[in-house]
A and B are shown apart, each in its own frame.
Chain A
Amino acid sequence: MKKWILIPAILVPILVGVIPFAYGVYLSFTDWKMANPRASFTGLANYFFLFKDRTFWSAVGISFQYVAMAVSAELALGSLLAFLLVRNTRGQWFFRSVIILPLTIAPVLSALMWKLMLSTQGGVVNYLLGFAGIQPIPWLAQRSTALFTLAMIDAYIFTPFVALILFAGLQSLPREPYEAALVDGASGWGCFRYITWPLLKPLVLVSTMFRLIVSFKIFDTIYATTGGGPGTATTNLHLWVYLGAFRYGDMAYAMSGAVILFLVIYALVFIFVKLWKEATAHY
């Protein structure tokens, strides 16, 4: 078997991914700006500024808040949906098709759809809430609700992701252990605790880790709806990096933030890969 066939598939991502990133790490030690393309070496200066920069820490905090809200909602709703779906034997094809839709539409387009619906000027959500006597809420335009609203848009798009994976898991559960457990007089909770959960655990892990990683670096839905605002209320780390680089032109400084983001993501990836290997080892 000619193993050199593997080389192009590794080389191309290295050329457009690994090398640019390594170059980026170097650039984060310079004073490169949009207006100053010369980029002379300044050592750790950017990182010193970064750790004293309130806007940076606020962005880190917002990233974590967003992940906590979005991923917990997705896990809760996703497992509920999976359990409902697996009990329903007749309309499965239809319901699966329905929940697959949000996953296949570009996240930025879904976010724009919600922006249309959440508007205070003729937005349908506020209109419907009006029937319950609720005054129009500027969901995406006020500090107190913007981040939560974005996390819920995230949940709209990605709950089906968790649901589909767990649904696939539930469907492939073997029957025999349950029958044996019933004969032995096990309770419903006992069945779940000792049969369902151990078998589902690898899938719960996989979906959680995928969602953690992707929602930590979420960018497009926020950029398209609030642009990080109002103020900096929804500026997560990825958006902070973008605004620093392409709006304020402070390329090297933004890159130092991107290096931190990279480290957090790859710490997660490292854990993810480890857990995945453990979880799939016995297949």
Chain B
Amino acid sequence: MVTIVKHILYCFVFTMLIIVFLFPMFWTATLSFKTYTDIVSSVPKFFFSPTFVNYRGLFTGETGTTSLPITAPNFPRYFLNGLIISGGATLLAMLLGVPAAYVLTRARFRKESTRENIAFTILSFWFGPELAITIPLYRIYQKLGLLDNYLGLILVYQLIGIPFVVWMSRNYFLDIPVSVEEACLVDGASRLQTFLKVVLPLAKGGLSATALLTFLFCWNNFVFALAVGGERTMPVTTGSLSFIRYEAVLWGQMAAAIVISAIPAILLALLLQKHIVRGLTFGSVKG
């Protein structure tokens, strides 16, 4: 009897938690299919006739209501900007970070503690409060003409990208037994050949997870884009705020924009379940 009560209680608590986690996403998704009048009605509507007007509006620039004479935010542009900046930042971080991580796991240091100290130094770049860096960077970029510039943003995103790539891929390299590489070296292959032909293929799964998570972290970043980005380079995170207008809030379109911007994240979450815990903790915990 006690076990049955316990089981029911357990199921109840669990269901409640799942509802709490899923409901905001579910609700936002329903909002994106509602008309403006349905959204602002004083009683929230659980049953309504779905409309695609918000999604269409995101791409055509219509606001979905004639009473609001405002031009819509340029969502396709935000999406494209996000792809360019996050894609570029991920590419650069992988190019610089992966070889560095490999060297960090395999090189011999005079003092063994040097290895960990270098690793922690690289990690600590990630912790800095963003505005302590972007306020002076704003002045530097102003002089260099890098404000509201893709290259400028890709460079500053390396503060997220490089520490993450180094720490993640380091763990995947550590998983590969050194004996495999030694065998190749004995057979007369060079270090570079061993790395390209043996190590990289072995670490392929882990490295692609690293790249995808790096992309996700960049895609989700807000502060850098706000401080040194601008109208021209605005990604979806800062762009989603442009649905809040002085005249009115375009709730429906904002909900639609949230849904579209979150789709890459949700797909990655399902694809990378195994790697995500490791990624979130910079490799300190194996998921």
Contact between A1 and B103, CB atoms less than 8 A apart = yes
Is A121's CB within 8 Å of the partner chain B?
A: yes
The stretch that binds A, out of B40-48, B50-58, B65-73, is B40-48
Known: A13-B162, A238-B129. A104 touches B44 (CB 8 A): no
Contact size range, B: 35 or more
Which chain A positions have C-beta within 8 A of B162? 9, 12-13
Interface of A is mostly: helix
Is B237's CB within 8 Å of the partner chain A?
A: yes
Is B223's CB within 8 Å of the partner chain A?
A: yes
Choose from B21, B27, B238, B258 the contact partner of A102 (Cβ within 8 Å): B21
Which chain B positions have C-beta within 8 A of A15? 155
Which chain A positions have C-beta within 8 A of B200? none
Q: Please list the residues of chain A having a beta carbon within 8 angstroms of any beta carbon in chain B.
A: 1-3, 5-6, 8-10, 12-13, 15-18, 20-21, 23-24, 27, 32, 37, 81, 84, 87-88, 93, 95-110, 112-114, 116-117, 121-124, 127, 156, 160-161, 164-165, 167-169, 172, 203, 206-207, 210, 213, 217, 219-220, 223-224, 238, 241-242, 245-246, 251, 254-255, 258-259, 261-262, 265-266, 269, 273, 276-277, 280
Which chain A positions have C-beta within 8 A of B18? 95, 98
Choose from B100, B137, B284 the contact partner of A206 (Cβ within 8 Å): B284
Interface of B is mostly: helix
* Interchain nearest-CB distance for B142 vs A (Å): 8
Q: Which residue of B lies closest to A272 (CB)?
A: B127
A-B contact count (CB 8 A): 260
Which chain B positions have C-beta within 8 A of A169? 285
In the assembled complex, 8 residue pairs joining A and B whose CB atoms fall closer than 8 Å, in A order, are A12-B92, A96-B273, A117-B24, A164-B280, A165-B285, A238-B130, A241-B129, A262-B129
Which chain B positions have C-beta within 8 A of A265? 127-129
Q: Which residue of B lies closest to A240 (CB)?
A: B131
Is B75's CB within 8 Å of the partner chain A?
A: no
* Interchain nearest-CB distance for B227 vs A (Å): 7
